[in-house]
Amino acid sequence: MKDILIVGIGGFMGSAARYAVYLFTAKHYAEKPYSGTLIVNLIGCLIIGLLSGGLIKMNNQTGLFLIAGLCGGFTTFSTFALDGLKLIKEGLLLQFILYASVSMIGGLIVCLAGFYLMNKG
């Protein structure tokens, strides 16, 4: 239960940070509506790479807070990128291609399906 609370606190902070980036980009880059998402995804990928690459030696709870919580709340794209990197590092290129393709194309398809289901009436 303690680990769930640690992840939850980190997730709250990451989500709040993501919203702050959204507000900033909506004010300063209104003509580029997707810039906030792009910035969050790139920053999140950098942070999760630094953390998992050993920038700091962390215990399990620190890792849960920073990686699962903070980065997970900030952007799940960073976790997607880290999972892809692990597959590539393990020499599982075909699995990486399948994972990335199903994640992106499948995600778009199910998003479209959900949108269609909610708007068909």
| Residue 91 CA: distances (Å) to CA of 28, 40, 61 | 42, 28, 29
Cβ(18)–Cβ(75) below 8 Å: yes
- Collapsed DSSP state (helix, strand, coil) of residue 114: helix
Amino acid occupying residue 102: V
Mean pLDDT by 10 residues, the chain (121 residues): 96 96 92 86 90 75 91 89 93 96 92 87 60
Half-sphere exposure of 78 (CA within 13 A, CB side): 27
**Cβ density class 60-91: b for 16+ within 10 Å, e for less:** eeebbbbbbbbbbbbbebbbbbbebbebeeee
Cβ(18)–Cβ(73) below 8 Å: yes
**Would you state the pLDDT for residue 56?**
63
- pTM equals 0.74
- The most distant pair of C-alpha atoms in the chain lies apart, rounded to whole Å, by 54
**Would you state the pLDDT for residue 102?**
94
